[in-house]
Structure 1
Amino acid sequence: MDELQLVRDRAADVPLPDLAELGAARARLLAAAASEPRRKTGKRLRQAGAATLGLAAAITAVVTFVPTGDGPLAPPQAAADPVRVLHGAAAEALKLPDTPPRPDQFVYVKTQYAESDREAWISADGQHDGYVKQDGQAFPLPACVDGKYRVEGANNPAANGTEEPCVVVPAYRTDLPTTTDAMIGYLNKNHSGDAGDVNAMGKDVQMLVGETYLPPQTKAALFDAAAKVPGLQAVDHVTDAAGRPGVGITWPGNGVTLVFDAKTFTYLGTTQGAVVGYGIVDHVGQLPR
């Protein structure tokens, strides 16, 4: 096996660490080398080769080789730091322009799946009728006005002589925290599962970055808060549902893998559904320019 080629391949999707990280890695390497007793020349040569590969791993922040005495090197372990990726996504979110929609506008999101696309026009204030197209079908998203569904068409509960109670769920979320600690508190209090259910929390994070409009500060707080979820794992060399390469982040028990651009940390979607269209429009059926 060509270990150096393996390092090059695994480094392709992950950015280099900063100088502080390199300095710390170099110091650990030199300390380990200084404490190693003198051995026979052949063995020292084998260890020198392992040390060279270890330094390459530190420089790329991609592969960790575990020394196993005189035996072969252990299989390389993954790679990108999930916390670093999410913090990078938060920093990238802060660069986005804050162009909030008007109450009467719609958040347009196009999501690409393996065998279909979904287009959604979601009311910014939750009080205007939205619309979804998927799998050759179309159906309205009923508006919630005065605590009751109000929508024209065959799916209107009022058409059958009944009106169902509802809660307004706007696509433009101005009710969410803008700091990391407050967002953690919000997720712990409002996530869909039981207390301590990181699976449910991970899915809620995915929903909030999906078919909504979050102000930059809120989106950054969400990614920074997600970085504190226990048990995060990074998955190298994944692609979203549109085939775009990136680095994946998973939670324990959560079958969803969030995918981020490995260089910019921009959120791309998931391995099941890629966000390929997004914008603010004036009416249902309109596409962003």
Structure 2
Amino acid sequence: MPDSPSRRRLLGGGLALLGSALGTPLHAGDDFEGDPFQSLPWPGMRREFLGTGTVVFDERVQVRGPAFAEDPMNVPITVSVRALDAVDRILVLVDRNPIRRVLEYRPRQALPAVSFRFKLEQASPVRAAVRTADGVWHVGGTWVDSAGGGCTVSGATRKDGSWSQTLGLVSARVFEASPDPSGTGAFDTTGGQARVRVRVMHPMDTGLVNGIPAFYVSRLVLRDGDDHELMQLQPYEPVSENPVFSFDFTRRPVGPLRLTGIDNNGNRIDSRID
């Protein structure tokens, strides 16, 4: 059978189930180190980003995205983790991007779930590596097809020059509802959970466009009204222009919330969310 995205999805799902059922790392004895997508960059990525610790492919790490990226500069991705305790860190990686690390998320008092958009250079596995308190990395992923070019094209606000007028502005909304378990992104009002969605105005330049250096938000922290840290986020260059992030909580955080951050040029972000 010829290789194809659909075959990779099927293979990935089967091996992920096997790895989760066994509760052990998958080492197939081949060049892919048991990777369900059989991606050549994976062994190097594993060593670079996950180190020498234990890695398992795990169906409980769910990565949802489109089968085809109609807009490679704005590819929606949702990562959610179910039935894993003590999640310390979530790392999103894209095998075939020129910049493979997309985002690092530390949930703190939030649920281990995050939604955002990113730039995709070509068809690739999109992965989430989730580290638990025991030091084990649990990896899930999905295949996203694309015509490509997302990382090497300047954004709209860079083209028209409007980015300098809106740089660092924050808008936000709190939803007092729980995500629909069907995974469609809809909400029902009976679950008692809350979602916080924030948008930060920033060009998020990758540095791969001629004459435009890398310029991106490098750190965001959300705190509640009692100054408790709710979550910590480290976006990297592939996150989309004017990024929007969604975070879930078991209950509505005590307000007013405060979002602070910084970009790689030292510009600060500080916004109160009522």
What is the TM-score when the length of structure 1 is the normalising length?
A: 0.22
- Structure with higher strand content: 2
- Structure with higher helix content: 1
- Higher RCO (C-alpha 8 Å, min separation 6): 1
What is the TM-score when the length of structure 2 is the normalising length?
A: 0.23
When Rg is computed on C-alpha atoms for both structures, the one with the higher figure is: 1
